[in-house]
Structure 1
Amino acid sequence: MRVVLAIFYTAAGIAHLLAPDQLLAITPSWVPFQRQVIFSTGLFEVAASTALLVGVQRKSAGILMALYALCVWPANFKHAIEGIDLPYISSSWWYHVPRLAFQPVIIWWALFCSSAVSWPFRPSRRNLLRH
């Protein structure tokens, strides 16, 4: 699961670095320094993916990736509500509804893959101590 998440984040990071103009279209207007934010988030996604796979900072990377996924959710809503066309991404609600609904799973996935949370698959330490 960790490798798949790192691949997705790396691909998104590369897209941020190589195609910032398309991402500007879905960036909410209240975000300051939009071009710089898109560039910085691209670097972050690549660096966090690397840390998630090989770094001693795996847990920190997962927590930051989860927070990042929460912070970009407004761009996903803008993309859906305004029906903005992006290359290789559908503007159909058949894409947007699952995409918006999946964002909490992405947040959990980053936390789980980094061992920041163990729910629901691994028993907590507290439960292990009781038995």
Structure 2
Amino acid sequence: MISKNTPTNWFQTVLRITLGALMVLAAIGHMTFQREEFQAQVPNWIPLSKDFVVIASGVVELLLGLGMIFLTNYKVWIGIALAIFYVLIFPGNIAQYLNHTDAFGLDTDQARLIRLFFQPVLILWALWSTGAIKAWKTKS
């Protein structure tokens, strides 16, 4: 069983809280001023309203962001959940690249392609900053 709370150092804590705050900001953007841009990332093959997908993912981002900041006793599980979330939304980034969709200032194929390489960075950030990688390695 993976421990829900593995000790982390001060730098991991700063990065965990920073990522949590960025998730809260992204959630606010999903539900307000960046809503249309996020809708542009929803793949056409998803059988739900783009607006619903954006709002629902914004709610999930808000919960995960707040969890990253405040639920320190469950930080490992929150980190794993956030990493899974990043994997689940990755098809939207791929769709933005394949469909040549302009959003968030990504107005060239090169910019959209470069962005794809940041998703693994976010996944590792979520896992490392919460101690999830260490917990996985030391599970009994």
Compute the TM-score of the two structures, normalised by the length of structure 1: 0.80
Aligned partner of 2:62 among 38, 42, 46: 46
> Which residue is 1:22 aligned to?
37
**2:86 is the counterpart of 1:69:** yes
**8 Å contact kept, 1:52–1:59:** no
Cα distance, 1:125 vs structure 2: 4.2
> Which residue is 2:130 aligned to?
114
> Which residue is 2:48 aligned to?
33
Quickly say closer, same or farther: Cα 1:54–1:101, change in 2 above 3 A.
same
SS in 1 for 2:45: coil
The number of equivalent residue pairs is: 121
What amino acid sits opposite 2:17 in the alignment? V
Once residues 38 and 108 of structure 2 are traced to their aligned partners in structure 1, the CA distance between those partners, rounded to angstroms, is: 17
Once residues 15 and 107 of structure 1 are traced to their aligned partners in structure 2, the CA distance between those partners, rounded to angstroms, is: 20
Compute the TM-score of the two structures, normalised by the length of structure 2: 0.75
Structure 2: tracts of 5 or more residues without a match: 1-14
> What's the % identity of the aligned pairs?
24
CA RMSD of aligned residues (A): 2.0
Cα distance, 1:46 vs structure 2: 1.4
What amino acid sits opposite 1:29 in the alignment? N
What amino acid sits opposite 1:37 in the alignment? V
**8 Å contact kept, 2:41–2:101:** yes
Quickly say closer, same or farther: Cα 1:118–1:89, change in 2 above 3 A.
farther
Regions of 4+ moved over 3 Å: none
Structure 1: tracts of 5 or more residues without a match: 127-131
**Which one scores higher on RCO, CA 8 angstroms, separation ≥ 6?**
2
